[in-house]
Chain A
Amino acid sequence: MRNVLRGYTVELRLAVVLALICIILSFSAPQFATLSNATSLLNNSSVNLIWAVGLLVVLIAGGIDISFAVASSVVQYVAATLLLSIGGGNWLLGFLFCGTLGILLGLLNAWLIHGFRIISIVVTIATFNAFFGLLMYFSRGRNIYGLPDWWTARIFIFEYQNAQGVWSELTLAVGVMVACVVATWLLIQRSNIGRQLYAFGDNPEGARRAGVNIAVMQGVAFGWMGLMAGIAGLMQVNIVKEVVPNALYGRELEVLAAVVLGGARLGGGKGTILGCILGVMFVAITQNGLNLLGVSPFAFQMIIGAAILIAISTSNIDLSQILRRKEVRQ
């Protein structure tokens, strides 16, 4: 058991904090611990979590991505235009278009990083600005309404009405999010490609000497991020029912904060799906709780900032070391 825990110190700590927050909130805000609040939390976090697992892969491989949220907007806009021009399409074409476009944008990042040996933060800040600028230019900042019906249809994968007549429901986005989480878990934990991503992030020179193909690893990491950005874009339209070019601008930092809170190491080689989920839920629940308590939304930004500082500065106080110290003494 201790072995299992040792690999998950950050996650364990975060889970404890999250549980405490939930307990406090369920006493101080009566609406918090209800099924309908839980399902709406999940619905509202699904897009963030799809992005988060994509970003996790990039962080594990030692990179960082600032451009993904804006990339989702680009995908939405281009896919909507293309789909409307071929008469509407369907879900299959939607996934195909959005996934492919996302992957292409991710590969563009990977190519710039690897081909020109520029660090990822610089490249993705540049592409972030380029994507956004081009999008605003071509869309003239105008929203696209009148999207195909399949895309804006409300699809529930779970519905329940309680005695008071309050509905609790989970949307399609939650189902897609679960699929993305599982797929990412398979990639990074269960496939040799994923393990090479960890190795590359951990010690790039060591990985190179072992024969890991560095170019492909960058491609996989940013391509996966792009795929997730494409799918997140698709699902976000399904939730809001229109394409708003600047709707996602600024969301990247919130997601980055969540993933880092979940224990992914800036610099590579470390990070888990569990931590990623907990990080996103931490951000979502804090926001939801403050909202229910009627606190100013600016307090939320402060709390997330403080939480990151605390998480990063205490993460070298390692639980496992304290456990081991005891063992030696005995």
Chain B
Amino acid sequence: MTTAPAERFALRLHKVSKAFGGVQALNKVNFEVRAGEIHCLAGENGCGKSTLIKVVTGVHQPETAELIELFGEKVDRINPVQARQMGVSVIWQDLALFPHMSVAENIAFDSLVGLTPRAVRSRDMMARSKAVLESLGVQLDLAAPLQDLQIAQRQVVAIARALMNDAKLIFMDEPTASLTQSETDRLLDIVRKLSANGVAIVFVSHRLAEVLDIAERVTVVRDGNLVGVYPTAGMTQAHLGELMTGQLIETEVTARDRSDAPTVFAAENLTRHGEFTDVSFQIRAGEVLGLTGLIGAGRTELAHVMMGMRQADGGQMRLNGASYRPSNIRKAIAQGMAYVSEDRLSLGLLQKQPIADNTVISVLRKLTTATGLISERRKAEMVRHWIRELGVKIGSPDDPISTLSGGNQQKVVLAKWLATDPKLLILDSPTVGVDVGARAGIFRIVRALADQGLAILLISDEVTEVMFNADRILHMADGRLVAEYDPRTVTVPELEEHIYA
């Protein structure tokens, strides 16, 4: 390497541009990562973070680029295999794993890539993937097909895969999006260890606390343009949020007392063997009930029972005073339930269909005219309404949903459910991968919906999220409700201590 040690770069980009049709995803962006540095890439949904990663790894070719340099070497046209051989690994935002292949094969897949025929050494792949998982402190069934795993576990598989290749530069595109606190902490430890060993990490996350905690420097991008590079020392979340969105975002406790409103939903001693036990709670009209706890606490399973996707083994539920026991999700929806699921990228969207169709798919009946056909005018109106309301960044409503950035896809799912005009809305980790500005926007809408009398169950790993947006907070641990808190009388550190202790 020719440069002086203090100025050794893992990656340098100068004036890199990339456009998709009419969308300028990157506009003459400069980006530099020092060797061994933990560097954050921050910006709103759709600002071009994932595109930047794809350009560096040769998945997309840039329109123009003055310089792309990896480890001091100028590269012209790079492809994914060359990038990996030079020491670049990626944890993709959408994971890019293979659902029908085994966990071990997913982790060790990159060693199979190439056109020189060679024998597959399954035992060797097993051993190596086991070793990586052990270094992550995780145990997974290596022979299981990936699709049998929960999303958090799939995320771990993607992380393990990126660690397999002895990389010197690792891009992590929202690696913690579906991890819980303890798993996140473990990942951040590993990131620090890698960095200490000289591996440079580019970390993308919409959890700003995490960004400020882990990174030394942060590069902020807005609408494909570079805003600037800042040291994280002395930076606050509010300031970073402002740099990203261009507006000041304040957070405050919004809880209010709804104890005299009528009860919309009640669970009594609800039990499902092996998942949760004796769960009793009520949600009142206009109330936002927060439900938090570690993963595996049974929160998502509870939501599935409420939606009729699984059946309880004991206890009962009441909806608006009447006994409620849906045998499937369609019946639940018909009775006014709505569920924004945790795994919304694969369960909630028709990836190849236009954005507009995805938005209105759950309310087609409302859009039909007397002739039984769908009114294009009403459809366009509704789509426009929700896109504006949620601030979804799109080219045209007729583009397929797969062209949207990850965060913007999430907003479309939310819009789809909000459009059904439900009585009880279950939001399971609704802001995973959503940027600060849009989060604030989503919770503004949630609050407005509650004020109109909608009952809301907000499931979240993020303590601050339930703290600032819920009226009451339930804490679930090992399948039981263990405590209830009032956001107005508890503080964030107290709550964190109770939950992570």
Contacts and interface: CB of A to CB of B under 8 A. Distances in A.
B80 A189 contact: no
A299 B101 CA distance: 38
B347 interface: no
A329 B112 contact: no
Interface of B: 54, 57, 59, 79-81, 84, 90, 92, 95-101, 105, 109-110, 112-120, 143-145, 148, 273-274
Contact of A192 (B80, B114, B148, B274): B114
Interface of A: 3, 6-7, 189-196, 198-199, 202-203, 205-213, 216, 265, 269-270, 320, 328-329
Contacts of A265: 100
Nearest to B161: A210
Contacts of A320: 148
Contacts of B273: 328-329
B144 A6 contact: yes
A125 B117 CA distance: 31
A210 B109 contact: yes
Contact of B98 (A6, A190, A198, A329): A198
B97 A203 contact: yes
B232 to A, nearest CB: 29
A269 B98 contact: yes
13 contacts: A190-B120, A192-B118, A192-B119, A195-B112, A196-B112, A198-B98, A198-B100, A199-B109, A203-B99, A211-B79, A212-B113, A269-B100, A329-B274
A269 B110 contact: no
A197 to B, nearest CB: 10
B412 to A, nearest CB: 19
A328 B113 contact: no
Contacts of B110: 210-211
Nearest to A268: B100
A210 B89 CA distance: 10
Secondary structure at the A interface, as helix, strand, loop or mixed, is helix
Contacts of A206: 92, 95-98
Contacts of A191: 117-120
Contacts of A270: 100
Given A199-B109, A211-B80, 10 more contacts: A190-B119, A190-B120, A192-B113, A208-B59, A209-B57, A210-B96, A210-B109, A210-B113, A211-B81, A212-B113
Contact of B115 (A190, A193, A209): A193
A199 B143 contact: no
A192 B99 contact: no
Contacts of A194: 120
Residue among A193, A195, A208 with most chain B CB within 10 A: A195
A196 B80 contact: no
A199 B59 contact: no
A205 B60 CA distance: 12
Contacts of B90: 209
Nearest to B81: A211
Nearest to A60: B100
A196 B116 CA distance: 12
A255 to B, nearest CB: 22
B96 A203 contact: yes
User: Which of A6, A7, A211, A265 counts the most chain B CB atoms within 10 A?
Assistant: A211
